[in-house]
Amino acid sequence: MNPLPQIFQDWFAGRGWAPRAHQLNVLLHVGRGDSVLLISPTGGGKTLAGFLPSLVELSETHARNGIHTLYVSPLKALAIDIARNLETPVREMSLPISIETRTGDTPHSKRKRQREKPPDILITTPEQISLLIADPGAAHMLCHLKSIILDELHSLVTSKRGVLLSLALARVQSFAPTARRIGLSATVADPEALQSWLAPAGERPVPLVLGNAGAQPNIRILKSVDRVPWSGHSARYSIPEVYEAIGNAKMTLVFVNTRSQAEMVFQALWEANEDHLPIALHHGSLDVGQRRKVENAMAAGKLRAVVCTSTLDLGIDWGEVDLVIHLGAPKGSSRLLQRIGRSNHRLDAPSEALLVPSNRFEVLECEAALQAAKENAQDTEYPAVLKLDVLAQHVLGRACAGPFDADVLFAEVTTAWTYRNLTRADFDTVMDYVATGGYALRSYEKYAKLKRRPDGLWRLTHPLIAQQYRLNMGTIVEAEMLKVRMASVKRRLGKRVVIGGRSLGELEEWFLSQLSIGDTFLFAGEVLRFEGLDEFGALASKAFGQDPMIPSYQGGKFPLSTYLAARVREILGSPQRWCALPAQVREWLAAQARKSVVPKAHQMLVETFPRAEKHYLVCYPFEGRLALQTLGMLLTRRLERWGAKPLGFTASEYALVIWTVSDLSLMISADKLSLAHLFDEDMLGDDLEAWLASSNLMKRTFRNAAIIAGLIERRWPGKEKTGRQVTVNSDLIYDVLRSHQPDHILLRAAWDDAADGLIDVHRLGAMLKRIKGQIVHRALEAVSPLAVPVLLEIARESIYGKAYDALLAEAAGHLTSEAMGLV
Amino acid sequence: MPFSPKPPVTLPPRPWGLSREHRIRLGGLELVPDLSGALFAPDLKSLLVADLHLEKASNMAKRGVHLPPYDTRATLALLEAVIAHALPERLIFLGDSFHDDDARERMDGADLAKLRKVTEHTETIWITGNHDPRPPSDIGGRIASEVALGDITLRHEPSQLADGKFEIAGHLHPGATVSQRGKRIRCKCLIGNGQRLVMPAFGSFTGALSISSEPFRKIFAANDFHVWMLGDRAIYRFPAKRVS
């Protein structure tokens, strides 16, 4: 039975289309009153599948009283495009349906009108849903809601944005209990997690509809004629071949992992660009206007290639892309499949992709990713759950909408799958935090933001708090960014005058604050000369004929996924599979087998050897840079305690190297050092605690949690300009809080984030468990072939730990030498 | 990994200790900087401390920003530690000791008792500042707008100094940045030029203002001053051209 009304069938037929099976399947589920998760690759008519049930319903009923359908996408920039695409069928079938968008850019007058006369379909972002429900008039707009469409759900659920959205949806459903949820997602590792995410806690996961898988992608690894470098991430060696591939394709997307890499590759391609191909650059810190220009040029087919970062991972197609090149290893199988999916949006034709490893280990990683992609194996992250800082933000938003009962709110919050395990005690702690800061020293009762009135309901104490909430809400905490503007430098009366011009984009403040006037760096596709800071941000001019200093600003650096890491270990541990690898990599591994040993997949190799009057320990856990950095911190503490006198360490995605004064091989053979002991899981106890106490890492996650929970405000009404001076530095707050109330809820939230993210303790813990009893040790005369790449990284690494004082002492020392005429 | 907080520690939030290497000479007086940002004059057994900003957090709480209400006790813990180490006979606060006129009313009883104990044991002078033009009169010590220490005048805000005059001031919260191996290290500092010294802010919630900003350019000629930067373990001295 075709659930589609005749007018829709005619419309499909008129375009020469037939409705796809998954589109009809979604309709059937919705007809039964179900929510549903649709998983389908890009290009499968996924968005239309989400909207079809709403279009059908709206074509049949004519009651106009509130929003019928909410469409939520993580990408603000997409709202207009989605609305435009949806207008087409509505217009062509003459359906009486109004469609509007609402994003951060929507003017106040339009919001007001939407409140008075809501559209049938509202296209918006997660943050806007939270703002909507914080409005006292939310019930009026939402009580007739029938459908909530959640696009790119796979990407939303892994972040705090998704966690906040899940709370907002619990609230939305208290107004419209029968509204269905339609989740639209790319392929994920664990669909059931998403099915559960969509359903109210305690209920059965929503049913799953699968779209057609589409044709197998055609993935190749660049077989370079030149030698693949031992280490580094620039992939500069491959530029001529990459350029040639671009020349042979109609339109190429060149994905890289970091913004600085994007700048470097773009620069290199232009140097090679003898045919003057139109090649553009697209990454997150470029000016929005510039990014839109590139997207429009792509859509119009005016470009041959775009060098981009994860900014182009999501979204609708901007053009006829027929080739995806991935420079550097993709770090995860799902990420690779997503990016490949950006090419060739017709499902029947295979996508074309070229992987370019930037060093030898990445050859293994690309090989692992290619095999995983062939099997369509996914390694997406599990949804984020139970973030206390996000809950605090939601509670304040709830108070902005009007008086509330804490019991009712607790019941509502725990209907969200993400908060199903929230305890009442934690909820009350969060309530207390929002009201008065949650301090044991109860001195803020008179300055409370929320107060419980005699009627038992909680109320805001001042309307200004709601205004502040609206300015500061959201979970995306950026590093402090400064605008970069083009500057012209003039001399007036012998004085240097810098005049700011057009905006180029934004850069991290910490990066800009390292620059001195005259330093050159790569940004926005140009070599720029730093000209100083003014009250609006940084100023820079074009640096003609100068080389840039190495760009060191980061952005979008992903660690190697656990899944790919396991596959890399498997390839390494099975010599019969090396035949797929390039000759030079095979030779490298064969040399390793001769001079040391190539570990089996379940083993971890530890090598010790002397070199240039120092002694080295190299281990190869393949667990990503973050986890290995934490391991390095903890191992050096332990080696220090056991008298090995460690001097420093460096971690790569694959290996960790520690260098010491003492002869480690000797210590091990004399039983003075036990590797099993050294790598024991107990390092995650006191050693971890002691390190974190003295580390700056926790301060970073604390700042994020403090901002999301509203302790530190990003913006103040009417005070945006003075911005950073309004609040106390979060590091100072952290220090004081840690010594006076170490169990404070924000310290818990910060720890939770760090354990998952920056210090990756969970992954480290799993790895230590895995290698128990599986450590293979080789005491060598000299560095092994496998160790060379990580040893080469040492030079480019920074110093850790007590580095600040060491550097200050060094700076002061140099100076003394200068003054004494020793230099 | 479970979250396992350690019990609260009452240690001061910043390290302290008189410098063993550095002696600052000003107006014929020898001054020893302390890692905490205080300044000790051994000859006069006087300890100078600037910009405590007690009860800054509770001041911000009035407008709904609930910073940890422990800044006062953290600051006082550091002060006690410095006093126990330097053993001064006289204690001089260079103004902005209290963040606002009502700060004393908001102080916790335990903190107040702690502060009173300090002023009972050591002769104390409260120099007035722009934040505390009227420091509380019931916590011991006397109040002054300026204090002479040998040939040096102690005051809150730096003044237009005539030749042959010397001063030590606070108010500006100096901080400096030094570059080494491509890293920028920023910390609180003392800044001085032989005629004038400006002390860093001592309070636990006080920040720092770059010594290359306008207020410092007004009172220190370019390239004609030194800074003493407060590291975690020691104090480091740099000439003007080395810092920003």
According to the per-residue pLDDT averaged within each range, which of A93-107, A136-150, A421-435, A568-582 is highest? A421-435
What is the distance between the alpha carbons of residues A506 and A483, in angstroms, rounded to a whole number?
4
**Closest Cβ opposite residue A815 in set B68, B70, B242:** B242
Closest partner CB to A812 (pick from B58, B68, B238): B238
Cβ pair A647, A614 in contact under 8 A: yes
Contacts of B56 in chain A (CB under 8 A): 728
For chain A, give the mean pLDDT: 86
Q: Which residue of B has its CA nearest to A448?
A: B64
Q: Are B132 and B96 in contact (CB under 8 A)?
A: yes
C-alpha span between B55 and A447 (Å, rounded): 14
Which of A711, A732, A755 is opposite residue B1, by nearest beta carbon?
A: A755
Please tell me the distance in Å from A513's CA to the nearest CA on chain B: 8
Max CA separation in chain A (angstroms)? 94
Phi-psi region of B55 (alpha: psi -120 to 50; beta: other; left: phi over 0): left
Among the listed residues A340, A335, A328, A337, the one whose alpha carbon sits nearest the alpha carbon of residue A366:
A328
Which pLDDT score is estimated for A719?
Answer: 45
Q: What is the CATH number of domain A6-210?
A: 3.40.50.300
The amino acid at residue B35 is L
Chain B CB contacts of A752 below 8 Å: 3
Ramachandran bin of A323, using left for φ above 0, alpha for ψ from -120 to 50, beta for the remaining angles? beta
Is residue B39 in a domain? yes
Q: Do A735 and B65 count as a contact with CB atoms less than 8 A apart? A: no
Q: Is residue A818 scored above 90 in pLDDT?
A: no
Residues A68 and A121 sit within 8 Å (Cβ to Cβ): yes
pLDDT range class, residue A803, cuts 50, 70, 90: very low
Distance of alpha carbon A660 from alpha carbon A386, whole angstroms: 42
Query: Domain ranges in chain A?
Result: 6-210, 218-374, 481-542, 596-823
Sign of the dihedral defined by the CA atoms of residues A741, A746, A752, A758, in that order: negative
Domain span at B222: 24-157+165-242
Q: Residue A514: list chain B partners with CB under 8 A.
A: 179, 182-184
Q: Write down the pLDDT at residue A257.
A: 84
* Stretch (H or E) spanning B76: helix B71-86
> Are B66 and A449 an interchain contact pair (Cβ–Cβ within 8 Å)?
yes
Question: In B, residues 183-222, which contact A (CB 8 Å cutoff)?
Answer: 183-185, 204-205, 207
Residue A433 to residue A567: CA distance in whole angstroms: 45
pLDDT of residue A43: 66
Q: Give the chain B residue nearest A807 (alpha carbons).
A: B180
Question: Cβ distance A224 to A416 under 8 Å?
Answer: no
- What's the CA gap between B94 and B127, in Å, rounded? 5
A447–B66 CB contact, under 8 Å: yes
Cα-based angle A573, A577, A579 (whole degrees, multiple of 5): 130
H/E segment holding residue B127: strand B123-127
Q: Taking CA atoms, what residue in B is nearest to A513?
A: B184
pLDDT of A802 above 50: no
Which of the listed ranges A159-168, A306-315, A375-384 does the model predict with the highest average pLDDT? Answer: A159-168
Q: Residue A410: which H helix or E strand, with range?
A: helix A406-413
Look at B13 and A444 and tell me if their CB atoms are within 8 Å.
Answer: no
Q: Is residue B147 part of a domain?
A: yes
Query: What fold characterizes domain A218-374?
Result: Rossmann fold (3.40.50)
Q: Residue A538 is encoded by which pair of tokens?
A: 């940084």
pLDDT band at B239 (very low <50, low <70, confident <90, very high): very high
Asked which of A172-176, A557-561, A775-779, B112-116 is least confident by mean pLDDT, the reply is A557-561
Q: Do A811 and B65 touch (CB under 8 A)?
A: no
Poorest-pLDDT segment among A241-250, A520-529, A682-691, B162-171: A520-529
- Mean pLDDT over A134-153 rounds to 93
Least confident of A139-143, A727-731, A771-775, B134-138: A727-731
Closest Cα in chain B, distance from residue A449 (Å): 6
Nearest CA in chain B to A762: B1
> A105-127, pLDDT tens digit by residue?
888 899 889 988 999 999 999 99
CA distance A432 to A438: 5
Instruction: Determine the distance in angstroms separating the CA of B241 from the nearest CA of chain A, rounded to an integer.
Output: 11
Neighbouring residues of B214: CB distance < 8 A, sequence distance ≥ 6? none
Pairing of strands B209-210, B174-180: parallel
B223 touches chain A (CB under 8 A): no
Q: Which of A657, A658, A633 is nearest to A645 (CA)?
A: A658
Per-residue three-class SS string for A627-660: HHHHHHHHHHHHHHHCCCCEEEEEECCCCEEEEE
A819 — pLDDT class (breaks 50, 70, 90): very low
**DSSP letters of A502-538?**
EEEEEEEHHHHTT--TT-EEEETTEEEEEEEEETTEE
Spatial contact of A726 and B205, defined as CB atoms under 8 Å apart: no
- pLDDT (average), residues A624-628: 86
- A813 vs B contacts (CB less than 8 Å): none
pLDDT per residue as tens digits for the range B84-127: 999 999 999 999 999 999 999 999 999 999 999 999 999 999 99
Q: How many CB atoms lie within 10 A of CB B40?
A: 22
Tens-digit pLDDT profile for residues A404-459:
999 999 999 999 999 999 999 999 999 999 999 999 988 899 999 999 999 999 99
pLDDT digits (tens, 9 = 90+) for A61-72: 766 778 999 999
AA letter at A226: D
Phi, psi for B209 (deg, rounded to 5): -110, 135
With contacts defined as CB-CB under 8 Å, which chain B residues touch A805? 231-234
Domain count of the fold of chain B: 1
Give the model confidence (pLDDT) of A514-555 as tens digits. 666 777 777 777 788 888 777 677 888 888 766 665 444 443
- Of A514, A743, A765, nearest to B5 by CB-CB distance is A743
- Smallest CA–CA distance, residue B2 to chain A, in Å, is 9
As a whole number, the mean pLDDT across chain B is: 92
CA angle B181/B182/B186 to nearest 5° reads: 100
**DSSP assignment letter at B20:** S
CATH number for the domain spanning B178: value is 3.60.21
Q: Is the pLDDT of residue A800 over 60?
A: no
For residue B202, the model assigns a pLDDT of: 97
Cβ contact A56:A27 at 8 Å: yes
pLDDT band, residue A226 (cuts 50/70/90):
low
Q: Do A444 and B4 touch (CB under 8 A)?
A: no
**% chain A with pLDDT above 90:** 48
By the CB < 8 Å criterion, does B164 face chain A?
no
**A821 φ, ψ (degrees, to nearest 5):** 70, 25
Q: How far is it, in rounded angstroms, from Cα A138 to Cα A102?
A: 14
Q: What's the one-letter identity of residue A106?
A: T
A39 vs A191: CA distance, rounded Å: 8
Joined together, the tokens standing for residue A358 give: 């930037």
- In this predicted model, which residue has the larger pLDDT, A684 or A798? A684
pLDDT of A693: 67
- Model pLDDT for residues B33-90, shown as the tens digit of each residue: 999 999 999 999 999 999 999 999 999 998 889 999 999 999 999 999 999 999 999 9
